[in-house]
A and B are shown apart, each in its own frame.
Chain A
């Protein structure tokens, strides 16, 4: 075997991370092929388990799992199921060994695990897993650039935000949150260079997603998505564990946390065994009588049947939303370790009327797709070849009178998305608006997920119905929402501080970062300098490229101004003051603003022109010059 020699000046490489419920892994693009990174034991899968030791040490992965039986409360598994959830979420009351604590007054309403003498949130636990993956990547690549982290397509805003916070906390530059099914399709699509309509059936450890998408010459357009962010292999384990308790003639409610943990582990082994065997017999983990417990495949299939029926309902709805029938599909892609269960494959084949595809390892396919996307976002590969058009999984709306939801952005709207809605006052002299942002499909706000509340204050007294409040929703390419409100008559405007209903605010995450560094992680300032330099380099390179490639769009003297700003930035980047570097970045930003606007308008004009030439007969008679942002007219037809 050849020894790979490390290049100490190796450029940072972008990575793709699948942060899974049961297992996580990291991949990157190596010689133009996405490749999963293995640990020293040639394992690519890192169990998503975190153990908090009695001397303050944190253990992640296989070693953490080994301690789970002895320390069930101090070892967190399947933390993904708790991401973005409130302290009183039903998830915290399911069969499991943890101890939870309620948030103190004023603390964010998030799940809190009590482990030994400390309290940790799911964001912090996930950050430990991400840190371990980052270390793994650093061992292989020396220097890690940005990261794409995948999330279930059905994750709501709070769950996405929590994932992004965890990335930040782990010291990762999160380039993008990517939906898992889209990532899988990316891995498949590039592999096969195939066009058509596909369904991605993704049953992981704790989440289920169904996505219908169209692949057309490198464009991956998601038509619809649906699922259940609390349904997966864990639920199979729980169903099987309850069965084991029954067979052992014990009541699960009276079991100790340790027993619950052990039985859940045995259940998982039985499940794995039943993938190939028609029955599995295990030693009774709960006592001597009976000596062994026997589970047949048939019994297991019956136990998981209700879970599979839940996936079927979501699949039918997604098909309807995409205005697609099963026979229109060119293929079904299986993703997630739970799709190894034979009952799942049989169910999927029956539901869609064709055998599903599973030729890329269902455990790895998501991370491989994420690596491809990370590579593209880092500026490698051809961005003209691949385009991902994703959607919002659940409708976003505002609570109006009577607790009814006014839908501002319906589910399956393509991102990035923006929409506005207008409201008025209900009472005379009302001086404030309370705005409650919710996500979900139900009619009543109380039945939807609460995302945030805020108040627009200081409206001058007016008669009811006189004030006009315009609320703007924006969803970025990560699927994350921001809200902006404005009172039209007075011009009163607030880019409101959105207090998340179930999440950590920026200050808390910042504080966690500082605390992590106190624990001897690394130096905050050094990290800031490094991050700002990377940013400076990125923007500098891209600006240099564009003033050369689009030189004809520069007006007199503009090149000189931009080049002066570039030189100043280069100079600042040699220093060690992140604030100075940031100031020069802002200066360069200002110097290139108009030029960037012109470049964007030309890109739009080109895109429309190309299409007109395609459809010249149909559109030629009404082809007119169009007015664009910044008020600048487009070049004439054919330009």
Chain B
């Protein structure tokens, strides 16, 4: 499964952050079609096993590449930079101060059961996450720029993800 180390190669796309996911989804679908175990139901045992492994790695690659956090992690890993929450620098005070306001707004909205407010905070954070993704895309696309400088952006993305998960959970508890 060495090739699953490079999900970009497995899907036949360039290593970059700003990928066209619509095109990639079609590629994944075509690969799934070519490799689906159903098409090899008549084949011998070792061929079926090989195809199953391959189909699983293609699915894994697609799962990695379509998720911004996993995609960034893979790009860092391929550039030889250790990531994962234990290896990344702690969030800066400046960043924490910036998001503190939103965090408080969310707590208040939750306590007041103000679903519209919860959604509004969620949208603000979604916009911030998009801006961070844009910075990552530009950073990875700029030839010669040191990639390790981008690592804190990954930490920000993780923060936004957790925040938005919380927003979704609050929406769920208020709906049902």
* A residues whose Cβ falls under 8 Å from a Cβ of B: 175-176, 216, 219, 221, 312-313, 316-317, 320, 373, 376-379, 383-384, 387-389, 413-419, 474-477, 538-539, 541-543, 585, 588-590, 592-593, 596-597, 600, 603-604, 606-608, 610-612, 614-615, 618-619, 622-624, 626-629
* B residues whose Cβ falls under 8 Å from a Cβ of A: 1-4, 9-14, 16, 20, 23, 26-27, 29-39, 41-47, 50-57, 59-60, 62-63, 168, 172, 175-176
Residues of A close to B32: CB separation below 8 A: 387, 389, 414
Residues of B close to A622: CB separation below 8 A: 13-14, 16
Select from chain A the residue with minimum beta-carbon distance to B2: A629
Interface contact A316-B175, CB-CB below 8 Å: yes
Residues of B close to A175: CB separation below 8 A: 41
Name the residue in B12, B27, B32, B57 with the highest tally of chain A Cβ atoms < 10 Å from its Cβ. B12
Select from chain B the residue with minimum beta-carbon distance to A614: B26
A-B contact pairs, 25 of them (CB 8 A): A379-B42, A384-B33, A387-B38, A389-B32, A418-B4, A418-B56, A538-B42, A539-B43, A543-B44, A585-B44, A585-B45, A589-B44, A592-B47, A593-B46, A596-B44, A600-B47, A603-B35, A604-B31, A606-B34, A607-B30, A607-B31, A607-B34, A608-B11, A629-B1, A629-B3
Name the residue in A176, A373, A418, A541 with the highest tally of chain B Cβ atoms < 10 Å from its Cβ. A418
Residues of A close to B176: CB separation below 8 A: 312-313, 316
Q: How far is the CB of B141 from chain A (nearest CB, A)?
A: 11
Name the residue in A316, A388, A477, A606 with the highest tally of chain B Cβ atoms < 10 Å from its Cβ. A477
Residues of B close to A588: CB separation below 8 A: 44
Interface contact B38-A377, CB-CB below 8 Å: yes
Residues of A close to B172: CB separation below 8 A: 316-317, 320
Other A-B contacts than A414-B62, A416-B55, 12 sampled, CB-CB below 8 A, are: A373-B38, A379-B42, A387-B36, A414-B63, A415-B59, A475-B56, A543-B44, A590-B46, A597-B50, A612-B12, A619-B14, A628-B3
Residues of B close to A590: CB separation below 8 A: 46
Query: How many contacts A-B (CB < 8 Å)?
Result: 150
A contact face: mostly helix, strand, loop, or mixed: helix
Complex alpha-carbon distance, A378 and B26, angstroms? 27
Q: How far is the CB of A630 from chain B (nearest CB, A)?
A: 9
Q: How far is the CB of B60 from chain A (nearest CB, A)?
A: 6
Known A175-B41, A317-B172, A592-B44: A611·B3 in contact at CB below 8 Å: no
Interface contact B42-A542, CB-CB below 8 Å: yes
Contact pick for B42, options A219, A541, A604, CB 8 Å = A541
Select from chain A the residue with minimum beta-carbon distance to B8: A626
Interface contact B47-A608, CB-CB below 8 Å: no
Select from chain B the residue with minimum beta-carbon distance to A373: B38
Residues of A close to B37: CB separation below 8 A: 416, 476-477
